[in-house]
Structure 1
Amino acid sequence: MSEAPAIPTKRPRRGRILILLVALVLIALVVFHLLHARAPKPVVAPQVVTVARVTTGPMPETLNELGTVTPVATVTVLPQLSGYLTAVGYREGQEVQKGQFLAQIDPRQYEISKRQAEAQLAKDNAALAQARADLARYSQLNERKSIAQQTYADQQFLVQQDEAAVKADEASIAQYVLDLTYCRITAPVSGKVGLRLVDPGNYVTASSQPGIAVITTMKPTTVEFTVPQTALDKVLQRTTAGAQLPVTVFSSDNAHQLATGTLYAINNQMATATGTVTLRAAFANDDERLFPNEFVNVRLLVDTLQNALLVPTSAVQSGAPGDYVFLVNPDNTVSVRKVALGPSDGQHTVITAGLAAGNTVVTDGLDRLSDGVKIKPSAARAATGATGASGASGSSGASGAAGAADARAASHSRPASAPASASAAS
Structure 2
Amino acid sequence: MSHRSKKPSLRRVALLGVGALFATALAVPAATADAAPAADCAAADAAIYRPPASVTAAPGTVLACRRVDALPLVGDVPLTAWKVQYASTDGRGKAVAVSGTVVVPRAAWTGPGERPLVAFAPGTLGIGPQCAFSKQLAGEYQDAYEGGNIAALLRAGYAVAATDGAGYLDGQVHPYVSGADAGHALLDIARAAPGVPGSGLSAAARVGLWGYSEGGAGSLWAAQLARSYAPGLSVVGVASGGVPGDLKVVAKSLNGGAFAGFLLDAVIGMATTHPEMPFDELLDEEGRTAVRDAKMLCLVGTLARFAGGRTENYTRDGLTLDQIFAVRGPDGRTWGQIVDKNKLGTGVGPAGSGARHEIGFPVLQYRGLLDEVIPAETEEATRQAYCAARIPTQWNTYPGDHLLADFQAVDDVVKWLGDRFAGRPMPGNC
Which TM-score tier does this pair reach, normalised by the shorter chain? under 0.3
Which has the higher Rg, Structure 1 or Structure 2? 1
User: What TM-score comes out, normalization by structure 2 length?
Assistant: 0.18
Pick 1 or 2: higher relative contact order, CA cutoff 8 A, min separation 6: 1
User: What TM-score comes out, normalization by structure 1 length?
Assistant: 0.18
